[in-house]
Amino acid sequence: MLPNTLIAHSSVSPGLKTIAEKVFSGKRISYDDGIRLYEEGTISFLGVLANFIREKKHGNLTFFNRNFHIEPTNVCVFSCGFCSYSRTYKNREDGWELSESQMIDMVKSYDGQPVTEVHIVGGVHPRMDLAFFCSLLRKIKTHRKALHIKAFTAVELEYMFRKAKVSVREGLGMLKESGLDSLPGGGAEIFDEEVRSKICADKATASQWLEIHSTAHQLGIPSNATMLYGHTENFAHRVDHMDRLRKLQDETGGFNAFIPLKFRNKDNDMSDVKEVTMIEDLRNYAVSRIYLDNFPHIKAYWPMIGKSTAGASLSFGVDDIDGTIDDTTKIYAMAGAEDQHPRMSTAQLVDLIRHAGRKPAERDTLYNTIREYETMEEPAPASGQ
């Protein structure tokens, strides 16, 4: 049965049917529609709509890439309530600070392996400044020119540029010249000023985050966007967050992927806040896919959400499950994600995607397809290949 016939025969409210008609005829939904979807949409209703859009954009393909993370430090001048990872500058006994040569050694340890991207993100350390990172990027590119460098959240950048007394445009220009290829989507959290003042009062504001991404896009640096959900925000805050991103994307077209990040509550100042259910995770992926009609990709970040939910999300609007992260990120393990050593070989990623009935496609950071895996029978390549 076609999705619109399916909805026509279901017992959903007239308001939801109108939204379904918009979606099936390729029209944009409004802010109020977004709220209604969160408030009234059942998981099955949202799944049908989100899957329709997902398959219209990408058919059966699900993208992944081969990347590794460098987290230069977990020492941070800020104090976000949800963060389990950071250590303050004064209290940094169990913090880490990698030197430039340690980070270059990490890059070298992937020599000969077909990774296409390094993702660099960490705490905001007062002594790791713009000059330090320009030098690091240059050395990475000198060693491996083709490795795509996706680095620094807008929060790290805002602090780096302020300390160096350069404008956003100048700072991004310097980093681009040193080898920066794209920006990750972190630091966005929830844009609403009131929620932000409660969960991450002292770091880059929503308008600073948006300005940095807007300027990056103008300079030809693409980026991603995240949303930290499932803590103290309400549905209106989530729709407002996506609305600000949708507007910026209309102007610049520079975003590749939207990545909803589920709040995890272990060992942080918000441990009393209960985590949301897997049903809410899937509903949230679906509303994101429906609302952000101008975002090419919706990503489920499996080290945070877990492998099972990541697999299920592929029927709820998600078309990308990030990369083969070789146990190189600590952010989620420290915040209570089930998988304390998030490692998946290419073969396991391919299996996960196939098991969900989708066709795996390895991509580079900019979503150029490197290889599609044609049939279920085709043997997946061995780990690390």
For the window 291-330, what string marks contact with ligand V47 as x by the rule CB under 6 A? ----------x--------------------x--------
Angle of helix 130-143 relative to helix 154-164, nearest 10 degrees, comes to 120
Which range of residues in 41-49, 82-90, 302-310, 322-330 is near ligand SF4 by CB under 6 A? 82-90
Q: Which does 84 bind (CB under 5 to 8 A by kind): ligand SF4, ligand V47, none?
A: ligand V47
Tell me: does residue 225 bind ligand SF4 (CB under 6 A): no
123 contacts ligand SF4 (rule: CB under 6 A): yes
Amino acid residing at 194? E
| Run of H or E including 258 | strand 255-262
Which of positions 140-169 make contact with ligand SF4 (CB under 6 A)? Answer: 155
Among 86, 208, 256, 309, binds ligand SF4 (CB under 6 A): 86
Q: Both tokens of residue 107? A: 């890059």
At closest approach, how far in Å is the CB of 89 from ligand SF4? 11
185 binds ligand V47 per the rule CB under 6 A: yes
Size of the site for ligand V47 (CB under 6 A): 22
* Contact residue for ligand V47 among 62, 65, 74, 224 (CB under 6 A): 224
Local structure of residue 18 (DSSP, 8 states): H
The nearer residue to ligand SF4, 63 or 78, going by C-beta atoms, is 78
Map the footprint of ligand V47 across residues 46-85, applying CB under 6 A: 82-84
Q: Does 263 bind ligand SF4 (CB under 6 A)?
A: no
Record the tokens describing residue 194, joined without a space: 């009131």
> Which strands make up the sheet holding 61-65, listed edge to edge?
320-323, 61-65, 359-363, 369-372
Show Cβ contacts of residue 2 under 8 Å, excluding neighbours closer than 6 positions.
Answer: none
Give the closest residue to 156 by CA, choosing from 131, 187, 182. Answer: 187
Query: Which residues 195-214 are close enough to bind ligand SF4 by CB under 6 A?
Result: 200, 203
DSSP string, 43-105: HHHHHHHHHHHHHHHHTTEEEEE-EEEE--B-B-S---TT-SS-B-SSS-TT--B--HHHHHH
123 binds, among ligand SF4, ligand V47, none (CB under 5 to 8 A by kind): ligand SF4
261 binds ligand V47 per the rule CB under 6 A: yes
Inter-CA distances, 127 with 45, 72, 155, 266, 270, Å? 50, 12, 15, 28, 28
> Of residues 85, 133, 161, 229, which one binds ligand SF4 by CB under 6 A?
85
By C-beta, is 171 or 185 nearer to ligand V47? Answer: 185
Q: Which of ligand SF4, ligand V47, none does residue 358 bind (CB under 5 to 8 Å by kind)?
A: none
User: Could you tell me the smallest distance in angstroms from the CB atom of residue 292 to ligand SF4?
Assistant: 23
- Contact (Cβ atoms closer than 8 angstroms) between residue 228 and residue 189: yes
Return the amino acid letter for 149. Answer: I
Binding mask of the shown chain, residues 109 to 148, with x at each position contacting ligand V47 by CB under 6 A: ------------x---------------------------
For residue 259, state whether it binds ligand V47 (rule: CB under 6 A). Answer: yes
What 3-state class would DSSP assign to 297?
Answer: strand
Strands of the sheet with 67-70, listed across from one edge: 67-70, 117-120, 148-151
What is the DSSP-derived secondary structure letter of residue 117? Answer: E
**At its nearest, how many Å lie between ligand V47 and the CB of residue 338?**
13
Distances (CA, A) of 86 to 53, 74, 219, 304, 327: 38, 5, 31, 17, 18
Q: Interface with ligand V47 by CB under 6 A: which residues? A: 82-84, 121, 153, 184-187, 189, 224, 226, 228, 259, 261, 263-264, 268, 301, 322, 331, 335
Q: Interface with ligand SF4 by CB under 6 A: which residues? A: 76, 78-80, 83, 85-86, 123-124, 155, 200, 203
